[in-house]
Each structure stands twice: as structure tokens, then as C-alpha cells.
Amino acid sequence: MHHTATVRRLPDLDLDLLAVPEAVPELRRAVRRRLVGTCDEVELCVTELVANVIRHVGEGTPVRVRVFRADGAGRIRVEVADPDARALPVLRQATDEDEAGRGLRILDELALRWGVELWAGGKTVWCEVAENPA
């Protein structure tokens, strides 16, 4: 069987936590500690994906955050899994006056690609960013 650069391996970061605002600063620090030399975009993507769970699934939802370096591909994959397969992220056009709706727009602009994987008992929202953006 032929494997591509997106073959899974052990994550650089693998955390189970509750999606609460207080967890975000520690999560960002964990990303910095575990992925030395990576970009601010990874921290921002983790923050936006967890904030999306808080906003649309509910504060205190258990989530699993995983971050992988894609071997040889120059990409970092961020995954945030939660137990609600019904609350799917939707890319909306936010206006300057909107207080919400910018998270996925930010993600869409930062990420090389992103998507949602449904599984029995939940979903995983993922994105990939360039490891060393220009």
C-alpha cells in the first residue's frame, strides 16, 4: 500500500480537556512548548477551533485537541474533536458590525485547507497550515 505525506503518526500534541475560555491560554502555551519553532497560525487555529466548540456546542464540552506535523509535507494539522455531530461549522460572511461569525473566516484565510470528519459519537474539525509561512 502506498502512503502519502498525510499518513498519521503520533501527534506532537494530544490533549483531552473541557472547552472553556479559561483553557485557551494554557492550550496556546502547550502548543508553543510542544511545537517549538512553529507558527502563530497554529496557535490561532487551535484557539478558533476550541472557541467554535464553546460557542456552538456549549461551554464545558469535552474536546480532544491534536496537532501533527505532516511528515515531509511542510504542513501542520490541527484537529479538535467533540461529541456533537449535529453542530457543524458553517463558513458565514460576517460584516464589520457582527460580533460573531469571524472564527471560520479567519481559519479559512489562514489554513491551506480545512474540513470536518464525522464519526460515531461526534466530529473532528481539522485544518492544515504551512509549517513556515512566508
Does some domain include residue 78?
Answer: yes
β-strand pairing of 122-130 with 113-119: antiparallel
> Could you tell me the residue range of the domain that residue 69 belongs to?
13-130
Does some domain include residue 47?
Answer: yes
- Residue, of 71 and 10, whose pLDDT is higher: 10
- Domains contained in the chain, number: 1
> Residue 56: what are its φ and ψ, rounded to 5°?
-110, -20
Does some domain include residue 5?
Answer: no
Does some domain include residue 34?
Answer: yes
- Residue, of 102 and 11, whose pLDDT is higher: 11
Does some domain include residue 7?
Answer: no
Handedness of CA 36, 70, 12, 67 (dihedral sign): positive
Query: Given this model, what pLDDT does residue 2 score?
Result: 42
Question: Residue 91 — very low, low, confident or very high, per pLDDT cuts 50/70/90?
Answer: low
Which residue in 26, 24, 32 sits closest to 12, CA to CA?
A: 32
Question: Residue 62 — very low, low, confident or very high, per pLDDT cuts 50/70/90?
Answer: very high
pLDDT digit string (tens) for 28-51?
A: 999 988 887 667 889 999 999 999
Does some domain include residue 109?
Answer: yes
Question: Residue 103 — very low, low, confident or very high, per pLDDT cuts 50/70/90?
Answer: low
**What's the pTM value of the predicted model, to 2 decimals?**
0.82
Instruction: Give 109-115's long-range contacts (Cβ < 8 A, gap of 24+).
Output: 110/41, 110/44, 110/45, 111/45, 112/75
Does some domain include residue 1?
Answer: no
Does some domain include residue 8?
Answer: no
Q: What is the CATH number of the domain that holds 94?
A: 3.30.565.10
Residue 130 has pLDDT above 80, yes or no: yes
Residue 81 has pLDDT above 90, yes or no: yes
